[in-house]
Structure 1
Amino acid sequence: MASNKHNLSKSLKQYFGFDKFKGDQEEIISTLLDKNDVFVLMPTGGGKSLCYQLPALLSDGLAIVISPLIALMKNQVDAIRGISANDGIAHVLNSSLNKTEINQVLSDINEGVTKLLYVAPESLTKDEYVEFFKNTNISFFAIDEAHCISEWGHDFRPEYRNIKHIIQKIGIAPIIALTATATPKVQEDIQKTLGMQEAEVFKASFNRPNLFYEVRPKVDIDKQIIRFINKRKGQSGIIYCLSRKKVEEMSQLLQLNGISAIPYHAGLDSKTRAKHQDMFLMEDADVVVATIAFGMGIDKPDVRFVIHYDFPKSLEGYYQETGRAGRDGGEGYCLAFYDYKDIEKLEKFLSGKPVSEREIGMQLLNEVVAYAETSMSRRKYLLHYFGETYDEINGEGADMDDNMRNPKKMKEVSKELKFFLEVVRDTNEKLKLKDLVNVLIGKSSVIIKSYGLTAEEFYGAGKEEGDNFWRSIGRQATINGYLEKEIESYGILKLTPKGEDYIKKPTKFEIAEDHDYSDMQEKADDLNKAGGGVLDQTLLEYLKDLRKKVAKRHKIPPFAIFQDPSLEDMALNYPTNLDELSNIFGVGEGKAKKFGKDFVTLIAKYVEDNDIEKPDDLVIRQIVNKSTNKVYIIKSTDRKMNFEDIAKAKGLSMEELLSEMESIIYQGTKLNIDYYVNEMVDEELIDEVMDFLMEDAETDSMTELLEEFGDDLDENELRLLRIKFISDVAN
Structure 2
Amino acid sequence: MNENPIFTIGYGSRSLTDLLELLRGQRIEYLLDVRSRPYSKGRPEYAKAALEECLKNKGIRYLFMGDALGGMAEDQESGVPAQERPAFRQGIARLCKAHQQQLRVALLCGEARPELCHRAVLIGAALAELGIPVLHIDENTVLVPQEQVMDRLSALSGQEAGRGEERAADLAPDDDFIFPDMPDNDVPPPSDADMPQDVMGDEPEADSGLPGWAGSEGQAGVSDPRRPVLDLSRFRNSDPQTVLKQVFGYDGFRPLQAEVIAAVLAKEDALAIMPTGSGKSLCFQLPALLFPGLTVVVSPLIALMEDQVMQARELGLPAAFLNSTVPIQEYQAIMADVRAGGVKLLYAAPETLLQPVILQLLESVAVDCLTIDEAHCISEWGHDFRPEYRRLVDVRRRLPGAVCLAVTATATELVRRDIKASLGIDDAHQYLASFNRENLYLEVAAKNDAMDQSLAFLEDRRDQSGIIYCATRKQVDVLCEVLCARGVSALPYHAGLDAPTRMGNQRRFIRDDVRVMVATIAFGMGINKSNIRFVLHYDLPKNLESYYQQVGRAGRDGLRAECLLLFTHGDVQTYVSFIKKMDAAQQKPARLQLEAMVGYSESAVCRRIPLLGYFNESHPAANCGMCDNCCTEPKELSDVTVAAQKFLSCVKRTGEMFGMSHIIDVLRGSRSEKVLSRRHDGLSTYGIGMEHSKKQWQHLARQFIQQGLLIQDMEHGGLRLGQEAYQVFKGRQVMGVLPEPATPAFSSSGPSAMHDQAYDAQLFDLLRVRRKELAEAANVPPYVVFSDRSLVEMAAVFPQSPGTFAAIHGVGEAKLTKYADEFLPIIRDYCTQRGIVEQPAVAAPPPRPKPEGLGPRTLEVLALCESGQSIAQVCEMFKVKPATIVNHLWQAVMAGRSVRRDVLEAEITLPPDIRQRVLDAFAEHGPERLRPVYDALQGAVNYDDLHLMRLYVVLNRQGVVS
Q: TM (normalized to structure 2)? A: 0.41
Question: What whole-Å deviation, never above 9, does each CA across 1:78-123 have from its counterpart, x for those lacking one?
Answer: 11222337xxx32212121232232222222222212212112222
Change (3 A) 1:513 1:376: farther
Partner of 2:240: 8
Partner of 2:430: 201
Partner of 1:77: 309
Match of 1:93 among 284, 306, 322: 322
Partner of 2:577: 348
Q: Counterparts of 1:330-369 in structure 2 under 5 Å?
A: 330-369=559-598
Q: Which amino acid aligns with 2:293?
A: G
Q: Percent identity?
A: 41
Match of 2:286 among 48, 54, 58: 54
Partner of 1:728: none
Match of 2:618 among 385, 389, 403: 389
Distance 1:5 1:389 in 2: 40
Partner of 1:188: 417
Displacement of 1:269 in angstroms is 4.1
Partner of 1:681: none
Distance 1:128 1:168 in 2: 16
Q: Which amino acid aligns with 1:199?
A: A
- 1:250 counterpart = 2:447: no
Q: Which amino acid aligns with 1:30?
A: A
- 1:400 counterpart = 2:627: yes
Match of 1:144 among 359, 369, 373: 373
Distance 2:334 2:512 in 1: 33
| Alpha carbons 2:438, 2:626 under 8 Å: kept | no
Partner of 1:316: 545
- 1:280 counterpart = 2:512: no
Distance 2:638 2:298 in 1: 50
Displacement of 1:262 in angstroms is 1.2
Partner of 2:261: 29
Residue aligned with 2:239, SS: helix
Q: Which amino acid aligns with 1:31?
A: A
- 1:135 counterpart = 2:364: yes
Distance 2:622 2:874 in 1: 41
Distance 2:609 2:572 in 1: 23
Change (3 A) 1:26 1:6: farther
Change (3 A) 1:402 1:151: farther
- 1:45 counterpart = 2:277: yes
Change (3 A) 1:6 1:62: closer
Q: Which amino acid aligns with 2:423?
A: L
Change (3 A) 1:300 1:470: closer
| Alpha carbons 2:467, 2:535 under 8 Å: kept | yes
Distance 2:625 2:595 in 1: 25
Distance 1:169 1:136 in 2: 12
Question: What whole-Å deviation, never above 9, does each CA across 1:245-302 have from its counterpart, x for those lacking one?
Answer: 3222211110011111111234444443343334333333221112223333433333
| Alpha carbons 2:304, 2:528 under 8 Å: kept | no
Residue aligned with 2:530, SS: coil
Question: What whole-Å deviation, never above 9, does each CA across 1:515-541 have from its counterpart, x for those lacking one?
Answer: 9xxxxxxx9xxx9xx999xxxxxxxxx
Distance 2:378 2:237 in 1: 33
Q: Which amino acid aligns with 2:376?
A: H
Displacement of 1:156 in angstroms is 3.4
- 1:109 counterpart = 2:341: no
Q: Which amino acid aligns with 2:309?
A: V
Q: Counterparts of 1:445-456 in structure 2 under 5 Å?
A: none
Q: Which amino acid aligns with 1:37?
A: D
Partner of 1:380: 609
Q: Counterparts of 1:468-547 in structure 2 under 5 Å?
A: none
Displacement of 1:225 in angstroms is 0.4
Distance 1:172 1:252 in 2: 55
Question: What whole-Å deviation, never above 9, does each CA across 1:583-639 have from its counterpart, x for those lacking one?
Answer: xxxxxxxxxxxxxxxxxxxxxxxxxxxx99999999xxxxxxxxxxxxxxxxxxxxx
Displacement of 1:71 in angstroms is 0.8
Distance 2:733 2:630 in 1: 12
Displacement of 1:31 in angstroms is 0.9
Q: Which amino acid aligns with 2:264?
A: L
Change (3 A) 1:138 1:514: farther
Q: Which amino acid aligns with 1:157?
A: R
Q: Counterparts of 1:629-644 in structure 2 under 5 Å?
A: none
Partner of 2:456: 227
Task: State the Cα RMSD in Å.
Answer: 4.4
| Alpha carbons 1:375, 1:408 under 8 Å: kept | no
Residue aligned with 1:298, SS: coil
Displacement of 1:34 in angstroms is 0.7
Q: Which amino acid aligns with 2:285?
A: Q
Q: Which amino acid aligns with 2:575?
A: L
Residue aligned with 1:162, SS: helix
Residue aligned with 2:272, SS: strand
Partner of 2:522: 293
Question: What whole-Å deviation, never above 9, does each CA across 1:290-321 have from its counterpart, x for those lacking one?
Answer: 22233334333332221011222221221121
| Alpha carbons 1:40, 1:201 under 8 Å: kept | yes
Partner of 1:218: 447
Partner of 2:354: 125
Distance 2:449 2:306 in 1: 40
Distance 1:337 1:531 in 2: 12
Residue aligned with 1:320, SS: helix
Displacement of 1:76 in angstroms is 0.8
Distance 2:568 2:519 in 1: 20
| Alpha carbons 1:409, 1:513 under 8 Å: kept | no
Displacement of 1:223 in angstroms is 0.9
Change (3 A) 1:531 1:399: closer
| Alpha carbons 1:218, 1:339 under 8 Å: kept | yes
Displacement of 1:55 in angstroms is 0.9
Residue aligned with 1:142, SS: strand
Change (3 A) 1:388 1:7: same
Partner of 1:17: 249
Partner of 2:205: none
Residue aligned with 1:215, SS: strand
Distance 2:300 2:430 in 1: 22
Between structure 1 and structure 2, the one with the greater Rg is 2
Residue aligned with 1:300, SS: coil
Q: Which amino acid aligns with 2:457?
A: F
Q: Counterparts of 1:541-690 in structure 2 under 5 Å?
A: none
Distance 1:28 1:398 in 2: 30
Unaligned residue ranges in structure 1 (runs of 5+)? 413-440, 444-465, 477-509, 516-522, 533-610, 619-731
Unaligned residue ranges in structure 2 (runs of 5+)? 1-234, 640-654, 658-700, 712-731, 745-871, 880-962
Distance 2:604 2:464 in 1: 30
Displacement of 1:366 in angstroms is 2.7
Residue aligned with 2:425, SS: coil
More helix by share: 1
Q: TM (normalized to structure 1)? A: 0.53
| Alpha carbons 2:350, 2:388 under 8 Å: kept | yes
| Alpha carbons 2:443, 2:628 under 8 Å: kept | yes
Deviates more, 1:187-196 or 1:243-252: 187-196
Change (3 A) 1:615 1:407: closer
Match of 1:65 among 284, 297, 305: 297
Distance 2:530 2:554 in 1: 7
Q: Which amino acid aligns with 2:544?
A: L
Change (3 A) 1:531 1:37: closer
Residue aligned with 1:311, SS: coil
